[in-house]
């Protein structure tokens, strides 16, 4: 079940004497390959530079050229791969991640068994050497992810899995630092790929109970304390939001709490993730077109789990509590009805106008639970509204919150790590839209502003002076088109990189 990522190492041996399959070089569109290699230092000999000199490609973004190593060159590797990076001025971290994924694609296409990457792309556009290594490695690890758990041997062979050994040519004095960088990136990528595995798992395999089992196994070997509330315990705490959503399913709901305390007396960061293992809509049932994609409705929770695993593996010096409410939203004789009124753990009465607006009901109790840890910041992630897919599509998650400085920080972190976010307002005027005539609030807030009124609903369950950010990942959590090479079809693992970068920057 464990996701095996391919091997990436650094090597400082002279590239000429490297006896592998492919030497990979990236070039901008404004220069010949040998020029960029100057920056590789002693690991690249004059021979390599001479060989590459005439093998000029335009260097356009995504362009690749694979040539057999010319005879008598003195280079022991079998082949040389040149990859175009596009315009020098346009190169950024995201471009480097895509480059890594392009290298993976080349490995698959040409059956490359080992690859020594000469990525001498530092000192440009403010990108540091380590960032080049980190971004390209991330692209390789995230681009080579496959969900093959349920494919029999035959179809796996058909898809010809390649598992190249990857090296980065590195100057000797940089090897220790580079290895450390790779370790950290590996932990983050394992977290992203864990979130993808969970997201891609279908509803018959992953339900609230099996998710709990999985979490216990995953966290057992890590310094993370796991506490699980079952129906009885949920009832005792008055968590009727979670209970109501789960009551239509044969598999009862749960609330998972994970505590990672490795930050001494530093403040606590609380992260909350929606984990509806399947969302049929309940009695307010969804149309059947694309309903199968509602197995992804636990991707917020998956992001929290991937994040917890990553920070624990990195031994990040932070205090984090991860909270994952999980339920299955099904219609049945025991399901909640439209019109039901429930009392949440916080004491707020909610009129359930639409049972398909279930995410906010489980988050209501989970956010209230997060308050009990007195965190400095609460961040929640949820595939909350179809309206967010309409507003922002697949290239940014929606963010809302009660502290504009914090929102700005999250935006900046998102721009850097690739999990981009964009703000929507929580003006008071929108709050009126969720006023109920029979309870305190109702769980839908039409007409208009569906993502915002969902955010307004959640805001009622955090204390007013608590810094809180809500991230709607409905449009970014999965991508059936694989529109980016570092994001294969299916769950994207969105949120893991964002949370890791944020925790590293502001809580470590």
Kindly list the catalytic residues: 286, 360
Should residue 380 be labelled a site residue for ligand BES when binding is judged by CB under 6 A? no
* 351 touches Mn ion (CB under 5 A): no
Residue linked to tokens 């010319």: 70
CB of 257 closer than 8 Å to CB of 275: no
Task: Choose the binding region for Mn ion from 21-29, 165-173, 273-281, 415-423 (rule: CB under 5 A).
Answer: 273-281
227: helix, strand or coil: strand
* Per-residue tokens: 271: 């992260």
CB atoms within 10 A of CB 94: 17
- The H-assigned helical ranges of 8-71 are 33-37, 46-53
Asked whether position 356 contacts Mn ion by CB under 5 A, the answer is yes
Extended strands (E) in 383-466: 397-401, 421-423, 441-442
472 binds Mn ion (CB under 5 A): no
Q: Write the interaction track for ligand BES spanning residues 413-452; mark x where CB under 6 A is met and - where it is not.
A: -------------------------------x-----x--
In the complex, the smallest distance separating the C-beta of residue 362 from ligand BES, rounded to whole angstroms, is 10
Nearest to 421 by CA among 458, 391, 386: 391
Provide the angle, in degrees to the nearest 10, between the axes of the packed helices 129-143 and 93-109.
Answer: 50
Interstrand relation of 165-169 and 225-229 (parallel, antiparallel or unpaired): unpaired
Binding mask 274-293 for Mn ion (x = CB under 5 A): -----x--------------
Work out what residue 15 binds among Mn ion, ligand BES, Zn ion, none; the CB cut-off runs from 5 to 8 Å by kind. Answer: none
Determine if 328 is a binding residue for Mn ion (CB under 5 A).
no
Residue 359 is a binding residue for ligand BES (CB under 6 A): yes
C-alpha dist (Å) from residue 102 to 63, 120, 140, 371, 419? 9, 17, 8, 44, 19
Sites for Zn ion among residues 239-278 (CB under 5 A): 276
Sole binder of Zn ion in the list 16, 61, 138, 297 (CB under 5 A): 297
Of the candidates 185, 183, 202, which has an alpha carbon nearest to the alpha carbon of residue 193?
185
Q: Indicate the helix (H) or strand (E) that contains 13.
A: none
Q: Does 380 bind Zn ion (CB under 5 A)?
A: no
Binding mask 323-362 for Zn ion (x = CB under 5 A): ------------------------------------x---
Is residue 479 close enough to count as binding ligand BES by CB under 6 A? no
Residues that bind Mn ion (CB under 5 A): 279, 356, 358
Residues that bind ligand BES (CB under 6 A): 279, 297, 354, 356-359, 383-387, 389, 444, 450, 474
Residues that bind Zn ion (CB under 5 A): 276, 279, 297, 359
């Amino acid at each position: 079940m464990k996701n095996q990522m391919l091997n990436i190492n650094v090597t400082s041996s002279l590239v000429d004497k490297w006896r592998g399959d492919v030497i990979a070089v990236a070039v901008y569109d404004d220069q010949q390959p040998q020029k960029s290699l100057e920056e590789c230092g002693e690991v690249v000999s004059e021979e390599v530079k001479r060989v590459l000199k005439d093998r000029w490609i335009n260097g356009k973004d995504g362009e690749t050229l694979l040539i057999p190593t010319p005879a008598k060159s003195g280079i022991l590797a079998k082949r040389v791969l040149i990859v175009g990076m596009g315009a020098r001025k346009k190169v950024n971290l995201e471009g480097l991640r895509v480059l890594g994924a392009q290298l993976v694609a080349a490995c698959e296409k040409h059956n490359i068994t080992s690859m020594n990457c000469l990525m001498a792309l530092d000192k440009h556009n403010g990108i540091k050497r380590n960032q080049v290594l980190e971004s390209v490695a991330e692209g390789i690890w995230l681009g080579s992810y496959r969900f093959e758990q349920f494919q029999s041997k035959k179809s796996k062979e058909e898809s010809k899995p390649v598992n190249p050994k990857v090296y980065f040519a590195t100057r000797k004095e940089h090897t220790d630092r580079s290895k450390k960088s790779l370790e950290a990136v590996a932990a983050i990528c394992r977290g992203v790929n864990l979130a993808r595995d969970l997201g891609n798992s279908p509803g018959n395999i992953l339900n609230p109970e099996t998710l709990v089992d999985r979490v216990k196994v995953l966290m057992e070997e890590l310094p993370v304390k796991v506490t699980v509330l079952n129906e009885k315990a949920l009832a005792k705490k008055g968590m009727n939001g979670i209970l109501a959503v789960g009551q239509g399913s044969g598999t009862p709901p749960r609330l998972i709490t994970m505590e990672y305390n490795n930050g001494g007396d530093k403040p606590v960061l609380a992260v909350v993730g929606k984990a509806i293992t399947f969302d049929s809509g309940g009695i307010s049932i969804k149309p059947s077109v694309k309903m199968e994609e509602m197995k992804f409705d636990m991707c917020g929770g998956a992001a929290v789990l991937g994040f917890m695993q990553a920070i624990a593996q990195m031994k990040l010096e932070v205090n984090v509590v991860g909270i994952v409410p999980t339920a299955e939203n099904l219609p049945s004789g025991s399901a909640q009805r439209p019109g039901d009124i429930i009392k949440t753990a916080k004491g707020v009465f909610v009129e359930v106008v639409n049972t398909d607006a279930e995410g906010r009901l489980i988050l209501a109790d989970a956010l209230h639970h997060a308050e009990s840890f007195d965190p400095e910041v609460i961040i929640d992630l949820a595939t909350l509204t179809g309206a967010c897919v309409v507003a922002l599509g697949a290239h940014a998650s929606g963010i809302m919150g009660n502290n504009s400085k914090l929102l700005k920080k999250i935006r900046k972190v998102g721009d850097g790590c690739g999990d981009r976010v964009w703000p929507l307002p929580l003006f008071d005027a929108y709050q009126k839209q969720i006023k109920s005539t029979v309870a305190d609030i109702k769980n839908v807030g039409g007409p208009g502003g569906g993502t915002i009124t969902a955010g307004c609903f959640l805001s009622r369950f955090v204390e007013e002076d608590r810094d809180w950010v809500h991230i709607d990942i409905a449009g970014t959590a999965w991508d059936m088109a694989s529109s980016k090479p570092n994001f294969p079809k299916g769950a994207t693992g969105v949120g893991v990189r964002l949370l890791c970068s944020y925790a590293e920057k502001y809580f470590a």
